[in-house]
A and B are shown apart, each in its own frame.
Chain A
């Protein structure tokens, strides 16, 4: 029989997370610090609205772009929080998670051979999505000494005549790094100079602990060349509802909507109704969750300092990214050993790009009690290694 698989799919590397997941699943009663989703349940009033929409029999399709009321709420939200104003009728598309927006955004923009700049360490799907869309990923290895922020020099250094899109994944998974206003202003000049399109994945925007998140789309001249991606998963603890959105210039959003219409039709209807409630009445929930994450973040940073584990202070998302270089092991070796000897699971930094080597992603989407137990075990582990 002929080989049924397309070469570009066969060539796609399985996610490094997957491999580690299989090892962890074998292990009974391991404490995991490996989860990339909130430990909170979706706030009840939001869930209730989802249930109500089912009770009312709202089990139909919505328009391809998503419910108008939800798009309006999104526009009011981006206006009030990030000072970027979009037209609900033409500049917003509701997607199945931020992930779909990444995929169809790249597919809508890339010609074969177009280069996509992807700063790493970062979320696992940018690179394969860029490849599947016919693009050529160009990786920028972010540096710990820059707190894993993207600098103008780093960006400038990888730009070629073929560069078309810059992916901007901040606040960042897995490092927890953020880009503050002056960081964004610095790269803005490079972006304008080389006429790049920005795909700004701001799914963790609400989880910023230093200053209120700044969207690159709010800087002068940027809105018309930025696809802003956000969603409900992290801010409102709604991962399983699979709901995200893309905002951007009409010419890009309308083409993305075409792809979305043919492969998805529309995002889940009852999730959309729940999301309206989230945006209308969820500000307090977000604030409470953010405060809880921030307490855990401070606690972890304090503990790392106490046990002498080197880690830059991250101000976003719910991850810390300590360096394990002093132990002379690869991230994989360290993570597997930590799991086997102390039953604590972190994710090797290499799952998020080669430059994650020497780091471990620790999620703090866990209760303080859980974090304490895990930290005790990590302390034992590294004390034994140092002995």
Chain B
């Protein structure tokens, strides 16, 4: 790896888990100039390597009800365009959170959020299944999130080490 790629990897690793890291502090931790970090980040944003900065929220701990569903979708690929067109038709819905093309028993994995079960199911029946190239949908509701994007939501671990050890 050349120097730039190495620096980029280090920046990405750091911000992947902490999007709010202070650039000055990150530069100190990595032993590089703050301007270099800022420049690389700006470049990576332009190049689309960094696609956004989001917040990981455990909605279960709020008063808001959020239902997350994972939908396995089988579709007919279209001549010349493969799955791209149908994927686009699906991901343009604002209810849809993520869309992945999957190998194996089905084609697209759609993750969506709604306020109620009913809201999700009506989206699946009225919108998703109604699309021409969609052959079938299997909807799974997520009951509990234990770990999301590398962060464990289930429980916090206390530092149980003795306070002073040699």
Which A positions have Cβ atoms within 8 angstroms of B? 15, 17, 20-21, 24-25, 30, 32, 34-37, 39, 123-125, 173, 291, 295-296, 298-299, 302, 345, 347, 351, 368
Given A17-B166, A124-B166, A351-B166, do A39 and B25 touch, yes or no (CB 8 Å)?
no
Chain B, range 127-153, C-beta contacts under 8 Å to A? none
Q: Which of A30, A35, A296, A299 contacts B165 (CB 8 A)?
A: A35
Smallest distance from the beta carbon of A145 to chain B beta carbons, Å? Answer: 24
Query: Once bound together, how far apart are the Cα atoms of A17 and B162, in whole Å?
Result: 12
Q: Which of B28-36, B52-60, B90-98 contacts A (4 or more CB under 8 A)?
A: B28-36
A-B contact sample (19 more), CB < 8 A, given A20-B164, A35-B164, A351-B166: A17-B164, A17-B165, A21-B162, A32-B164, A34-B164, A34-B165, A35-B161, A35-B162, A36-B165, A39-B161, A123-B166, A173-B166, A291-B10, A295-B29, A295-B30, A299-B28, A345-B163, A368-B25, A368-B29
Which A residues are in CB contact (< 8 Å) with B163? 21, 24-25, 30, 32, 34-35, 345
Query: Once bound together, how far apart are the Cα atoms of A363 and B166, in whole Å?
Result: 10
Q: Which of A291, A299, A345 contacts B164 (CB 8 A)?
A: A345
Point out which of B28, B159, B163, B164 has the most chain A C-beta atoms below 10 A from its C-beta: B164
Q: List 30 A-B contacts (CB under 8 A).
A: A15-B166, A17-B165, A17-B166, A21-B162, A21-B163, A24-B163, A24-B164, A25-B163, A32-B163, A34-B163, A34-B165, A35-B162, A35-B163, A35-B165, A36-B165, A36-B166, A37-B161, A173-B166, A295-B29, A295-B30, A296-B29, A298-B28, A298-B30, A298-B31, A299-B25, A299-B28, A299-B29, A345-B163, A347-B164, A351-B166
Q: Which of B10, B30, B159, B162 contacts A39 (CB 8 A)?
A: B159
The 7 closest A-B pairs by CB, nearest first: A295-B29, A34-B164, A21-B164, A32-B163, A36-B165, A302-B28, A24-B163
Q: Residues 10-45 of chain B: 1 if any A CB is under 8 Å from the residue's CB, otherwise 0?
A: 100000000000000100111100000000000000
Which A residues are in CB contact (< 8 Å) with B159? 39
Query: Once bound together, how far apart are the Cα atoms of A231 and B79, in whole Å?
Result: 60
Query: Once bound together, how far apart are the Cα atoms of A30 and B28, in whole Å?
Result: 27
Which B residues are in CB contact (< 8 Å) with A291? 10
Query: Once bound together, how far apart are the Cα atoms of A81 and B121, in whole Å?
Result: 57
For B25, the closest partner residue in chain A by CB is A299
Query: Once bound together, how far apart are the Cα atoms of A296 and B166, in whole Å?
Result: 20
Query: Once bound together, how far apart are the Cα atoms of A345 and B31, in whole Å?
Result: 27
Smallest distance from the beta carbon of A96 to chain B beta carbons, Å? Answer: 16
Smallest distance from the beta carbon of B87 to chain A beta carbons, Å? Answer: 34
Query: Once bound together, how far apart are the Cα atoms of A368 and B29, in whole Å?
Result: 10
Smallest distance from the beta carbon of A126 to chain B beta carbons, Å? Answer: 11
Q: Are A37 and B165 in contact (CB under 8 A)?
A: yes
Which B residues are in CB contact (< 8 Å) with A124? 166
Query: Once bound together, how far apart are the Cα atoms of A124 and B164, in whole Å?
Result: 13
Which A residues are in CB contact (< 8 Å) with B162? 21, 35
Which A residues are in CB contact (< 8 Å) with B25? 299, 368
Smallest distance from the beta carbon of A40 to chain B beta carbons, Å? Answer: 11
Query: Once bound together, how far apart are the Cα atoms of A269 and B68, in whole Å?
Result: 45
Query: Once bound together, how far apart are the Cα atoms of A125 and B165, in whole Å?
Result: 13
Which B residues are in CB contact (< 8 Å) with A20? 164
Which B residues are in CB contact (< 8 Å) with A173? 166
Query: Once bound together, how far apart are the Cα atoms of A35 and B166, in whole Å?
Result: 7
For B161, the closest partner residue in chain A by CB is A35
Chain B, range 85-127, C-beta contacts under 8 Å to A? none
Query: Once bound together, how far apart are the Cα atoms of A124 and B29, in whole Å?
Result: 31
Which A residues are in CB contact (< 8 Å) with B29? 295-296, 298-299, 368
For A25, the closest partner residue in chain B by CB is B163
Smallest distance from the beta carbon of A215 to chain B beta carbons, Å? Answer: 23
Which B residues are in CB contact (< 8 Å) with A39? 159, 161
Point out which of A30, A36, A123 has the most chain B C-beta atoms below 10 A from its C-beta: A36
Which A residues are in CB contact (< 8 Å) with B31? 298
